[in-house]
């Protein structure tokens, strides 16, 4: 093998060892670059005679072409390898099952809460939110339930550090909302003017140490409060009856106000409803506690019970959801089972 043949063979071998385009271009420079071996040979022609130039030049050019075509075919090979790699890595398996996008939906209790809010808003009620971690004062004392009151035993709950607790009902929102209202109108109050009445509901989560088919340690309540110059039990009956008929979308429904006791109302009543048709027909079902706001509670709000009077109620949105949809176990609401939840959307 002469010198040129050896050079061509060496270039071919080197190109063949390159496994990526960058290496290949570096290898190319060794032969065809500015200071490559072929370039050097071509430069050296300058010293030769015209005859020799012709002969040697032709040979060098042939070697150069061979190297260029070896380079080109290696380039093509490498780019095919890359393409095949890409095709393999991006391949679609058309036999896989399709990806379905499920539509999300609202939880049945959320659906109930929005219904409750919409209905009460339509009757002129504001909707308020409050903290789930409450102080003892808002949850009990301000609601006329001092530390030694027996009613506290029905409200066993979870305490956090510092003596605060997970609220056992939404009733503390009566106090919070009324105190804000009083604060807002304190100038008017001081100068002896009447301040606007309070008409609010406060839905939210509540907590008790309780767990069975109809009790969950976390459950929902919705508080209602209407305080004004002359708001009476009659107004409570009208408002609550109207609410139930709209909520359950039926006129075939009776309400019963059954005397009861709550420390923060006097008199107090449990509200029961009875459907005259459907699967629950004829049964009395308890849906809320209620009563005329106790004078001491009105005082604790910062108002004079001689001038401000009204009613409050606390109902169970979980219970209302069970009645509306015919669900018999409260725990289904909190299990997160899609088969159950899908049915509401």
Beta strand pairing call for 265-275 and 253-262? antiparallel
With the C-alpha atoms ordered 136, 139, 144, 148, is the resulting torsion angle positive or negative? negative
- Residue from 290, 298, 308, 322 touching ligand DAH (CB under 6 A): that is 290
Which residue stretch of 18-26, 37-45, 175-183, 287-295 sits at the interface with ligand DAH (rule: CB under 6 A)?
287-295
The pairing of beta strand 218-228 with beta strand 253-262: unpaired
Q: How far is the C-alpha of 4 from the C-alpha of 45, rounded, in Å?
A: 14
Q: Which stretch binds ligand DAH (CB under 6 A): 35-43, 75-83, 131-139, 289-297?
A: 289-297
Please answer whether residues 235 and 311 qualify as being in contact, where contact means their C-beta atoms are separated by less than 8 angstroms: yes
Given the complex with ligand DAH, which of 174 and 321 has the nearer CB atom? Answer: 174
CA separation for the pair 6, 200 (Å, rounded):
98
Stretch that binds ligand DAH, among 129-137, 210-218, 274-282, 284-292 (CB under 6 A): 284-292
Decide: is 208 part of the binding site for ligand DAH (CB under 6 A). Answer: no
Whether 269 contacts 323, CB under 8 Å? no
Which of residues 8, 71, 271, 312 is near ligand DAH by CB under 6 A? 312
Please state, in angstroms and as integers, the Cα–Cα distance from residue 254 to each residue in 115, 238, 241, 245, 324, following that order: 20, 12, 8, 9, 15
The number of residues that bind ligand DAH (CB under 6 A) is 11
Among 139, 145, 265, 300, binds ligand DAH (CB under 6 A): 265
CB of 283 to ligand DAH, least distance (A): 21
- Residue choice 14, 112, 157, 171 for contact with ligand DAH (CB under 6 A): 171
d(C-alpha 148, C-alpha 61), whole Å: 110
Say whether residue 289 binds ligand DAH (CB under 6 A).
yes
Q: How far is the CB of 290 from ligand DAH (least distance, A)?
A: 5
Nearest Cα neighbor of 41 from 70, 2, 69 is 2
Binding segment (CB under 6 A) for ligand DAH, from list 36-44, 125-133, 296-304, 310-318: 310-318
294 is an interface residue for ligand DAH by CB under 6 A: no
- DSSP designation for 232: -
Q: Which two tokens mark 300? A: 């604790």
Our CB check for ligand DAH shows the closer of 223 and 318 to be 223
Q: Which of 15, 207, 313, 333: binder of ligand DAH (CB under 6 A)? A: 313
Tokens 């009476």, located at residue: 232
| Residue (151 or 332) nearer to ligand DAH, CB | 151
| Least Å from the CB of residue 221 to ligand DAH | 6
- Rounded CA gap, 80 and 230, in Å? 89
Q: Which is nearer to ligand DAH, 36 or 263 (CB)?
A: 263
What φ, ψ does residue 100 adopt, rounded to 5°? -90, 140
Binding site for ligand DAH (CB under 6 A): 169, 171, 223, 262, 265, 289-291, 312-314
């Amino acid at each position: 093998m002469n010198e040129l043949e050896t050079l061509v063979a060496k270039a071919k071998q080197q190109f063949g060892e390159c496994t990526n385009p960058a290496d290949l271009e570096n290898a190319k420079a060794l032969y065809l670059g500015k200071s490559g071996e072929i370039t050097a040979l071509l430069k050296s022609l300058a010293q030769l005679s015209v005859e020799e130039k012709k002969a040697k030049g032709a040979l060098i050019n042939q070697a150069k072409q061979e190297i260029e075509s070896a380079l080109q075919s290696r380039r093509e090979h490498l780019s095919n390898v890359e393409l095949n790699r890409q095709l393999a890595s991006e391949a679609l398996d058309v036999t896989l099952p399709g990806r379905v996008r499920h539509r999300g939906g609202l939880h049945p209790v959320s659906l109930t809460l929005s219904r409750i809010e919409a209905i009460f808003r339509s009757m002129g009620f504001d909707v308020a939110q409050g903290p789930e971690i409450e102080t003892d004062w808002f949850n009990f004392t301000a609601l006329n339930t001092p530390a030694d009151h027996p009613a506290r035993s029905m409200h066993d709950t979870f305490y956090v550090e510092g003596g605060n607790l997970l609220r056992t009902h939404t009733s503390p929102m009566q106090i919070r909302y009324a105190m804000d209202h009083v604060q807002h109108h304190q100038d008017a109050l001081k100068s002896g003017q009447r301040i606007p009445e309070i008409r609010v509901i406060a839905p939210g989560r509540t907590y008790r140490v309780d767990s069975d088919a109809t009790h969950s340690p976390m459950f929902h309540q919705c508080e209602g409060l209407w305080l004004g110059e002359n708001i009476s039990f009659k107004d409570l009956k009208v408002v609550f009856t109207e609410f139930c008929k709209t909520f359950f979308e039926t006129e075939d429904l009776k309400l019963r106000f059954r005397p009861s006791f709550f420390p923060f109302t006097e008199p107090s009543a449990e509200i029961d409803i009875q459907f005259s048709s459907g699967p629950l027909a004829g049964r009395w079902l308890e849906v809320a506690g209620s009563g005329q706001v106790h004078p001491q509670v009105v005082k604790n709000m910062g108002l004079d019970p001689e001038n401000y009077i009204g009613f409050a109620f606390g109902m169970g949105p979980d219970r209302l959801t069970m009645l509306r949809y015919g669900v018999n176990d409260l725990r289904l609401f909190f299990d997160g089972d899609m088969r159950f939840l899908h049915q509401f959307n």
